[in-house]
Structure 1
Amino acid sequence: MTRSGVSDRLLAAALHGLPRERAEWGQAMRAEMAAVDSRSERWLFLLGCLRVVVLRPGTWSTPRLVRFACCAVLAVTVGGIATAIATSSNPGQKLREGGWILALLIGSYLFGFLAITSRRCAATARVLLIGGGAGLASVGAAAVLMFAIPPVPRSIGSTVLLVALAALGAAALAQRPHDDRAASLAGLFAATVGSLGIVILVDIIASAGPAELIPIVVPTTLSPAMQISESRIELVDPYIGLLFLGAVMGLLLGITALLTRSRLATGWRPRGETPPAGGPTRRR
């Protein structure tokens, strides 16, 4: 691929996230890029386009922002896992033993995030903000409890309760009369975000948190320094269960988002809601 081809592809990727009403604007940018001959000027033009795309008000819709944030968090998570495996004593064995499981888990989260932020999904900006906000609230509540009442819990019981409360709260806030789609999507999204966020929080505490937050989960015959060091390694293990729970929620989220999308595509609408003119209808 030529350097000019790289700049063209980067511009196309940036413009792909534009709303439909900005499509002509993006096409004009690509046409101007094609008219620039100098390689350095093409890159300068690309930087200018990226700045405008990112900073222009109204360019980024809520679903696109949510998708970007979720994918960025997943990318950082995958990077952290890859680094941990690469720096381990036997990375090849770890990949053979658990690589496919991690791939399935990350794939489930990605499936859910992409499905709920797709253009044809029934999740509105309100649903995304309620679900994502509730999930982040559960992560914040977990952080407050861990710092206020140290050390970090050895089991995931309390964090599962926080995630469940976040999901129920999001579902209640997003509930609409005669339509349970918004509540289901918001609740599942909150559970997915909360589960993943708490696992990341515990991993950060285990890696860089103060010693008073680390529960001693190894034999006390070791020296105090070794107890803390080994306990940091063991602390994350129980929270793998929460990671699995979040992956299941992500899978259910993706399936629910696809089902609501198919309903919209066939013209299904909640009882009492006026169908669009000329569109097909299906009564419940």
Structure 2
Amino acid sequence: MARVLGCVLVAAMAALVVLMLVASPDKAGEGGPVFGVLLAAYLVAFLYGRPDLSAVATGVAAAVLWLAVVALIPPVSLALALLSVAVAGVVGVWLTRNPVAGLAAAMSSALLITTVAWALVTYGPERFVPVLDAPGAADPLLESRIEAPDPYVGLLALGALLAVVLVAVRRFRTVNAAVST
């Protein structure tokens, strides 16, 4: 079930990336391959890393909590997103006593929070869009909608790095189990 949920999360992010790249064809040449690699890391982690359902659910719960706070105190905040990812990792370890579950929880929350944040700042109500200083912009809201998702690429990359670590740990354990027998 965790694999299915993970694949759904990756598919949602992939659909949003496609929508964003279609809206900004000039970014597609440089951003498309980067997003492809990042999403591939997530996909491999969900399929090969085999995270526990409780870990993925913890990541989803952290993202839902982040969304609730953002809904009460807009606009979206990268600092709050990073805090939520860290909390997901800590809670994942605390619940399962397994550091790998913490990695999976943090990875899952990073992916879902990035997806929701991009959707909110791009397509959501104005109150969710952070006001960015755009001197001389004809439409400051439009400029903020265009620029606001950019910092979340770092969050997406952080989650992808956690995904790579998750796969490496899984591979290490598989090889050690084979050598031990």
After TM superposition, the score normalised by the length of structure 2 is 0.89
Q: How does 1:1-20 map to 2 (within 5 A)?
A: none
What amino acid does structure 2 have at the position aligned with 1:137? A
Task: Provide the C-alpha distance between the structure 1 equivalents of 2:163 and 2:25, rounded to a whole number of angstroms.
Answer: 32
Q: Paired residue for 2:88? A: 166
Q: How does 1:206-245 map to 2 (within 5 A)?
A: 206-219=121-134, 222=137, 226-245=139-158
Is the CA contact 1:218–1:230 (under 8 Å) kept in the aligned structure 2? no
**Offset of residue 171 of structure 1:** 0.8
Task: Provide the C-alpha distance between the structure 1 equivalents of 2:147 and 2:24, rounded to a whole number of angstroms.
Answer: 14
Deviations 1:56-108 (A, max 9, x none): xxxxxxxxx22122112212322322232234343xxx343233222221121
Q: How does 1:91-110 map to 2 (within 5 A)?
A: 94-110=27-43
Whether 2:127 is the aligned partner of 1:203: answer no
Is the CA contact 1:195–1:246 (under 8 Å) kept in the aligned structure 2? yes
CA 219–83 in structure 1, closer or farther in 2 if over 3 Å, else same? closer
The higher relative CO (CA closer than 8 Å, separation ≥ 6) is in: 2
Of 68, 82, 95 in structure 1, the residue corresponding to residue 4 of structure 2 is: 68
Is the CA contact 2:59–2:88 (under 8 Å) kept in the aligned structure 1? yes
Task: Provide the C-alpha distance between the structure 2 equivalents of 1:206 and 1:235, rounded to a whole number of angstroms.
Answer: 7
Deviations 1:90-146 (A, max 9, x none): 3xxx343233222221121112111222xxxxx6xxxx1321121112101210111
After superposition, the CA RMSD in angstroms is: 2.0
Secondary structure of the residue aligned to 2:151 is: helix
Q: How does 1:112-191 map to 2 (within 5 A)?
A: 112-117=45-50, 128-153=52-77, 156-175=78-97, 183-191=98-106
What amino acid does structure 2 have at the position aligned with 1:71? C
Task: Provide the C-alpha distance between the structure 1 equivalents of 2:107 and 2:157, rounded to a whole number of angstroms.
Answer: 10
Which is helix-richer, 1 or 2? 2
What amino acid does structure 2 have at the position aligned with 1:88? S
Is the CA contact 1:207–1:232 (under 8 Å) kept in the aligned structure 2? yes
- Listed as ranges, the gaps of 5+ residues in structure 1 are 1-64, 118-122, 176-182, 268-279
- Structure showing greater radius of gyration is 1
Secondary structure of the residue aligned to 2:48 is: helix
Matched-pair identity in %:
28
After TM superposition, the score normalised by the length of structure 1 is 0.59
Task: Work out the number of aligned pairs and report it.
Answer: 181
